[in-house]
A and B are shown apart, each in its own frame.
Chain A
């Protein structure tokens, strides 16, 4: 069984740029959620995707957007990067109807 994988591991961007982060779900999982974890904080829910559609969104502006593909992998896109976007971005996969969410190792984004 393959766990959740994310790429890239680290990323450095400049304020105002755009970034795309990628996630591959755990084998058999059809739901993907994205979380932002600022340093020293708990993860904050960004949004969830199921059947390639957004299924719930947290308190994040529209410049945070996502995609889910037919193979259940997912992308998180952030436009017009701000310094406060610097964080660990976590992807979690789950099976719809199951409570358990399994996290990937995250992508560390630094905005300068």
Chain B
């Protein structure tokens, strides 16, 4: 059972544009929602994360928007650059001890074109 659904599967954005990736979750026990960036042949790198007590978090060009009632969250990459071309994964986890496993989405392959 896939508990975190991610879309789109792939995304092409022009340099300088806004990249938007969406995720939806089912388990209401989730209360931590990170985004990871993964380059080919590398492990996922933590990019930005949010807790459900806020609706938005911004770090540099990266913003997470969170809608608790809809059980959805999204990643916005402003002023997208070719170096942002990578696969992005949303994830979710609980916070209770022993329930901290990350459940990942299926990934979005982002390509930034000049």
Count of A-B contacts with CB under 8 A? 67
Contact of A55 among B43, B98, B103 (CB under 8 A): B98
- Report the Cα distance A55→B103, complex, angstroms: 16
List 25 interface pairs A-B (beta carbons < 8 Å), by A numbering: A33-B102, A42-B89, A42-B91, A43-B44, A44-B104, A45-B101, A45-B103, A48-B100, A56-B98, A56-B99, A58-B101, A90-B43, A97-B97, A99-B34, A99-B49, A99-B51, A99-B95, A99-B100, A100-B49, A101-B34, A101-B100, A103-B36, A105-B41, A105-B42, A105-B43
Interface: A106 (CB within 8 A): yes
Q: Which residue of B lies closest to A31 (CB)?
A: B100
Chain A 30-55, CB within 8 Å of chain B: the 1/0 string?
Answer: 01010100001111110010000001
Residues of A within 8 A of B (CB): 4, 6, 31, 33, 35, 40-45, 48, 55-56, 58, 90, 92, 94, 96-97, 99-106
Collect the chain B residues with CB atoms within 8 Å of residue A31's CB: 100
A102 touches B46 (CB 8 A): yes
B106 touches A41 (CB 8 A): yes
Q: How far is the CB of B35 from chain A (nearest CB, A)?
A: 12
Q: Which residue of A lies closest to B94 (CB)?
A: A99
Interface: B32 (CB within 8 A): yes
Q: How far is the CB of A44 from chain B (nearest CB, A)?
A: 7
- Report the Cα distance A41→B6, complex, angstroms: 11
